[in-house]
Amino acid sequence: MEISSVSEFEKHISRVLISAKQIEEAVKAAGREISEQWDGRPILLVSILKGSFVFLADLNRAINVPCEVGFMAAKSYYDGTESVGEVKITMDLAQDVSKYHVIIVEDIVDTGRTLSDVYKLLSSRGPLSIKVITLLDKPERRLVDFKPEKALFTIPDLFVIGYGLDLGEYYRNLPYIAEYKE
Ligand code: 5GP
């Protein structure tokens, strides 16, 4: 996929589903909640690249207690917009999670396969605690039994782009979440 004009870029943005303002308010509230629950021991926000990098950057700044960030990359294999059900950890976390309250920061939970695998892997390393915060949840599409502790928005079965979420590496720069149109 290659997009070489603004009109071609824009024609795939069907409609705004969640505005920048709605995202900002929800992220600030989530940051406040994490800050209020802090028990004085280290927090590590683990971002699953690449989709969650925008959410991580905003969530991190909405937290007003000490917290660290770490990065992991996991790849779910897609055939167009459909998951083919394979997940691979392509870059592991640098930190030893046993010293931390781990908060996995995800862009979207779809079939649940990516998070279920990452959650099992990090849990096996003995963190102080572990939970998942996701910007978006698409529960209708779940194929494995996985429920994030916190989902900022629950959406129907649509393919969405923006605020870190891509289609063919494009659209991560949109400040809102939009429905993708073929
Ligand atoms: P899961 O393993 O839950 O099926 O998929 C998780 C990953 O698939 C997400 O981190 C994201 O990269 C991708 N994904 C799932 N649904 C969507 C969607 O609606 N839009 C985009 N851009 N990516 C999605």
> CA end-to-end span of the chain, whole Å?
12
User: What are the backbone angles phi and psi of residue 26, rounded to the nearest 5°?
Assistant: -65, -40
Question: Which of ligand 1's atoms lies nearest the C-alpha of 143?
Answer: 4
Eight-state DSSP code of residue 146 = -
Structure tokens at 169: 């590496």
Tokens 């394979």 found at: 86
Q: Is 114 in the pocket of ligand 1 (CB under 6 A)?
A: yes
CATH code of 23-77+84-157, in short, is 3.40.50.2020
pLDDT at 94: 93
Q: Which tokens hold the place of 67?
A: 């917290």
Pocket test for ligand 1, best of 76, 135, 170 (most atoms within 8 A of CB): 76
Residue 77: what pLDDT?
Answer: 64
Of the pLDDT bands very low, low, confident and very high (cuts 50, 70, 90), residue 93 is: very high
Calculate Rg over the CA atoms of the chain: 16
- Ligand 1 atom at minimal distance to the Cα of residue 110: 3
117 CB less than 6 Å from ligand 1? no
- The residues spanned by each domain of the chain are 23-77+84-157
Q: Is the peptide bond before 120 cis (omega within 30 degrees of 0)?
A: no
Q: Is the CB of 83 under 6 A from ligand 1?
A: yes
The finding on whether 51 has its CB within 6 A of some atom of ligand 1 is yes
How many angstroms separate the CA atoms of 161 and 165, rounded? 5
Using alpha carbons only, what angle is made at residue 178 by residues 173 and 182, rounded to the nearest 5 degrees? 100
> Ligand 1 mean position to 74 CA, how many Å?
11
What is the rounded CA–CA span in Å between residue 31 and residue 56? 10
* Burial (CB count within 10 angstroms: exposed 0-12, middle 13-18, buried 19+), residue 40: exposed
Instruction: Place 75 in a pLDDT band, splitting at 50, 70 and 90.
Output: confident
Residue 108 is encoded by which pair of tokens? 């979207």
Whether 145 sits among the annotated catalytic residues: the reply is: no
Give the span between the Cα atoms of 133 and 105, in whole angstroms: 5
pTM of this structure: 0.93
Alpha-carbon gap, residue 117 to 158, rounded angstroms: 23
Site to probe by mutation for ligand 1, drawn from 54, 107, 115 as the one with most ligand atoms within 8 Å of Cβ, is 107
Position 78 pLDDT exceeds 80: no
Kindly report the number of other CB atoms within 10 A of residue 71's CB atom: 19
Q: What is the pLDDT of residue 88?
A: 82
- Mean pLDDT, residues 30-50: 96
> Given the CA of residue 171, which atom of ligand 1 is nearest to it?
22
> Is 75 or 89 the better-scoring residue by pLDDT?
89
Could you tell me the distance, in angstroms and rounded to a whole number, from the CA of residue 108 to the centre of ligand 1?
Answer: 6
Between CA 171 and CA 13 the distance in angstroms is 9
Atom of ligand 1 nearest to the CA of 107: 10
